[in-house]
Chain A
Amino acid sequence: MADVIASPAAQAAKAPRHADYLTDPDFKGLWSWLTTVDHKRIGVMYLWSTLLAFLAGGIMALIVRLELMHPGEDFMNAERYNQAFTLHGAIMVFLFIIPSIPAALGNFILPLMLGAKDVAFPRLNLASYYVYVVGAIMAVVSIVVGGVDTGWTFYTPYSTTTGGAVTMMTMSVFVLGFSSIFTGINFVATVHKLRAPGMGWFQMPLFVWAIYSTAIIQVLATPVLGITMVLLVMERAFNIGIFDAQIGGDPVLFQHFFWFYSHPAVYIMILPGMAIISEIIPTFCRRTIFGYRLIALSSVAIALIGFLVWGHHMFTSGQSALAAGIFSFLTFAVAIPSAIKVFNWASTMYGASISLATPMLYAISFLLLFTIGGLTGIFLGALSVDIHLHDTYFVVAHFHYVMMGGTVIAFLGGVHYWWPKMFGRMYNDTVGRIACGLVFIGFNCTFIPQFIMGSQGMPRRYYTYLDQFQPMHQFSTFGSWILGAGLMIAAVNLLSSLRNPKNAVDNPWAGTTLEWQTQSPPITHNFIGQPSVDHDPYDYRAFKIPADAVE
């Protein structure tokens, strides 16, 4: 339907018409960054920090995979190996995935999408960043002073009896939880209070719906994690006996507490990924999303039912058959909203005008990989099958398909999608697509063999293994190198674009949501005047495709 605006003015306006948030003369120098309350700058600082964590966690992952090339000790003994996989998991979960999309991209984009000047509580936003930094430093200290070998799950009684810096690490997780809560509170308030005139709940972009659902989980679930971590520290320091069987405690209680947070937390990880995909697909299809309401409400449904399925991580822990039955049933119930979303995204490509630029390639990768991740969850939800698969590499592959194949791929797609908006520079699209292809291939080579060896009986958290598994482990390690190469290329491609002059147009992809209505990069106060909304998001019927949009 869309016409092209043939506007010479748009061409002439390539140079920013106003100073943007990066070059604003009123906010110059390092100090202005460290004390900023601008959601965009905080988002950017979060972006660099979480990417650094991703790099650290990624290096740990490559080290772990390298050790697994052969059975027996290659270059790490069992003790080092156990520390390496613990760090990999803890860094990826607590320092990267949980904050990455909400706190980095969400911070930057959400207020823009709502047509707001900033989040509801800008200072709380900055506080959340500093709390994150303190938590991250504590995590680093705990690595330096002794290492941690409990796994990111900290199961008792192992975690209460092992040596190392477990106390420091659990306190770090406690602190990081507050940063997550602060972000969540901020987003809930922002979504309720700061929507542009004309933007009712069902005119909000789906990104906002999903980040809002995530924020609810962050606020409600994270305190449980905090309390659990405090109990663990008390147990280690004072032997209070909540988890210690020798003095009447129950180690399995820890697992209930832990998963009561950490299962909802897997939705803190995936919902933001879904948020990004719901933006990229309509934009690169140039048509309205299929089933807007169902996608929006699925996010809320996932957030709510997600609180009731934690026991599915504990089917072998000796829980009662009744409990196991209920948890299994609810696990299947929570799978349905995800299935609905996948079908709705795929259907959005019907009758579309599809561009395969880098962000869309990531979105398509997400569709395929998340589908595999979700579908393999069905094996695990089925009680008798999970008994066999629990704590094997099958589970490792499953959650990597959702967390890496889902969330990380979506995050990369989102970074490529909003990069021109955030920094005003365009990266090389061809290189971006090659990197995406390598990541896709490398990812599958790394994790498909893990499904096979897992169901063949290879337990997880093993630094050595029976010879029969070696071919699959080796294949997986080779895959991890392809994956690593793809990620490096993507990073170099993005970073080297920062040396270009600002060459991105305001709305390179012809997106309909409000963040594309302001200049790239946005001015400090986001919009000149108050934008308002008079149509549903993703409505291309009356939308004018800008003449300078990238093909």
Chain B
Amino acid sequence: MTWLRNLFLPNAASIRASDVDDLFMFVMYLNLFFFFLILGMVVLFVIKYRRKSQTQKTAHIEHNTFLELSWSVIPLILCMVVFFWGFNSYMQATVAPDGAMEIQVTAKKWVWTFGYPDGSVGIGKLWVPVNKPVRMVMHSEDVLHAFYVPAFRVKADVLPNRYTEVWFQATEVGDYVIPCAEYCGKGHSEMRAYVKVVSQQEYEKFLEEGDPDEKGKPPEELGALLYTNFGCSACHSIDGTKGQGPSWKGIYGQQHKMTDGKIITVDENYIRTSILQPQAEVVEGFQPIMPSFQGQIRERQLVALIAYIKSLK
């Protein structure tokens, strides 16, 4: 029945996934069995005992201790099997193995930031080596969020007042989506990051030289890439539609009115300040909800984003 498994479960790419999936399928079979049992009883009885006349005799069976015991005890036993299996595999998934690599995760509306052991920081994209246990230590700067990687079958809420953690060990090289799974407001559905699982060599190369995707690109192209990676796209459109923030289309050189009444021309400096200190000036008609990227964005990336915005005519 692999088709059933493939229908319901996404690609499994971590060492814990197969155990979760096995239990999922075990419960699925139990479900199918009991559903068809009930369906069978109902259909059979409806056909067999359909009313034929108003005076038809009916059975007077008040109860049957044996039957009632069996459908209390058998489900109870099956439920206990599912309980222990689920609890056991949950316990194994709770404690990260010794020596797991540690990554600091910061969530805020609506961006994921990842801090690597060497102190470097990345936004929207999490690089990890394949076949290595990785432990995420997470906290939020505003409301609740939840870190979820469907392909790894892991999830944990991210709280503002204490650290929560998850760990995983990826088994397959590839890109996997990280959707935010705890409702966090307007940008919730677009608060999306990716895990990039790579070989150990590639991972080390990434730590030394930064993201190879970002290399050797003209600034405009790099800006376009960062626009999605950094999650700018959650709030800013590039086609003129109004989102949580102003669209970027054609704004370079325009004059914008701010909430405090000031008129500002959108130039390099204004864009730079907007990225690093977004609350300093807020465009009229919008709320001061943009997070600051101070300390998380490299100079080269900043230049690229400005170039990209300039290019959107």
Contact = CB atoms under 8 A, between A and B. Distances in A.
Interface stretch (B83-91, B128-136, B217-225, B294-302): B83-91
B146 A391 contact: yes
Chain B residues touching A, range: 35 or more
Interface in A435-470: 451-452, 455-457, 459-466
A386 B90 CA distance: 10
B83 A381 contact: yes
B189 interface: yes
B187 to A, nearest CB: 7
A180 to B, nearest CB: 26
Interface in B4-28: 7-10, 16, 19-20, 23-24, 27-28
Interface in A357-387: 364, 367-368, 371-372, 375-376, 378-379, 381-387
Given A286-B58, A294-B63, A456-B150, A364 B46 contact: yes
B71 A378 contact: no
Interface of A: 1-4, 73, 77-79, 82, 149, 151, 155, 157-158, 161-162, 245-246, 249-252, 285-288, 290-294, 316-318, 321, 324-325, 328-329, 332-333, 335-336, 339-340, 342-344, 346-347, 349-356, 364, 367-368, 371-372, 375-376, 378-379, 381-388, 390-392, 451-452, 455-457, 459-466, 539-541, 545, 549, 551
Closest 8 CB pairs of A and B: A457-B150, A351-B59, A382-B86, A245-B161, A383-B90, A462-B189, A349-B45, A287-B58
Contacts of B179: 457, 459, 462
A1 to B, nearest CB: 6
A287 B63 CA distance: 12
The interface centre, meaning the residue of A155, A251, A285, A343 with most chain B CB atoms within 10 A of its CB, is A343
Contacts of B20: 384-385, 387-388
A390 B41 contact: no
Contacts of A328: 83, 86-87
B181 A294 contact: no
Contacts of A451: 8
B38 interface: yes
A549 B54 CA distance: 9
A221 B18 CA distance: 40
Contacts of B38: 342-343, 346, 367-368, 371
B45 A346 contact: yes
A381 B86 CA distance: 8
Nearest to A391: B181
A372 B49 CA distance: 24
Interface in B296-311: none
A332 B9 CA distance: 23
Interface of B: 7-10, 16, 19-20, 23-24, 27-28, 30-31, 34-35, 38-39, 41-42, 45-46, 49-52, 54-64, 67-68, 71-72, 75-76, 79-80, 82-83, 85-91, 93-94, 142-144, 146, 148, 150-151, 153-157, 159-162, 164, 177, 179-190, 241-244
A347 to B, nearest CB: 7
B24 A350 contact: no
B181 A368 contact: no
A384 B86 CA distance: 5
Given A1-B60, A378-B27, A463-B189, A387 B54 contact: no
Contacts of A382: 23, 27, 82-83, 85-86
Nearest to A2: B55
